[in-house]
Amino acid sequence: GQSLEQPSEVTAVEGAIVQINCTYQTSGFYGLSWYQQHDGGAPTFLSYNGLDGLEETGRFSSFLSRSDSYGYLLLQELQMKDSASYFCAVRDQGSNDYKLSFGAGTTVTVRA
């Protein structure tokens, strides 16, 4: 089985930096990914870490430490449009073929 923990909500002002932590427990591990979901919309893929270290994509970066079963998503130069829910997800080899399981999500609210 697998479980993921991430904070339920974060509030910050425009231009700030926000870090969303994710800790996980899995029976196997095939990478940590992050999804963004705006209210009423579909989850959209943001980033993936299969190996330890930092992956940078524009204003967003994601980090993984497999030895700590921990990762984070870093949102820089926050903009109002970044207000959304952010989900970490792990792929593990459980009983059902590399199932992708999601954390409960972190609601990020950006204030002017």
Partner 1 sequence: DAMVIQNPRYQVTQFGKPVTLSCSQTLNHNVMYWYQQKSSQAPKLLFHYYDKDFNNEADTPDNFQSRRPNTSFCFLDIRSPGLGDAAMYLCATSRDIELGFPHFGDGTRLSIL
Instruction: Decide: is 76 part of the binding site for partner 1 (CB under 8 A).
Output: no
Instruction: Decide: is 71 part of the binding site for partner 1 (CB under 8 A).
Output: no
Our CB check for partner 1 shows the closer of 7 and 43 to be: 43
Candidate list 27, 44, 57, 65; residue touching partner 1; CB under 8 A? 44
How far apart are the C-alpha atoms of 55 and 53, rounded to whole Å? 7
Beta pairing, strands 99-102 & 106-111: unpaired
Burial annotation 46-66 (CB, 10 A radius, 16+ → b, else e): bbebeeeeebeeeebbbbbee
Instruction: Decide: is 87 part of the binding site for partner 1 (CB under 8 A).
Output: yes
Candidate list 51, 81, 96, 112; residue touching partner 1; CB under 8 A? 96
The 10 Å Cβ neighbour count of residue 17 is: 11
Instruction: Decide: is 102 part of the binding site for partner 1 (CB under 8 A).
Output: yes
Closest listed residue to residue 3, CA positions, set 112, 93, 89: 89
Instruction: Decide: is 70 part of the binding site for partner 1 (CB under 8 A).
Output: no
Binding site residues, partner 1, CB under 8 A: 30, 33, 40-45, 48, 87, 95-105, 107
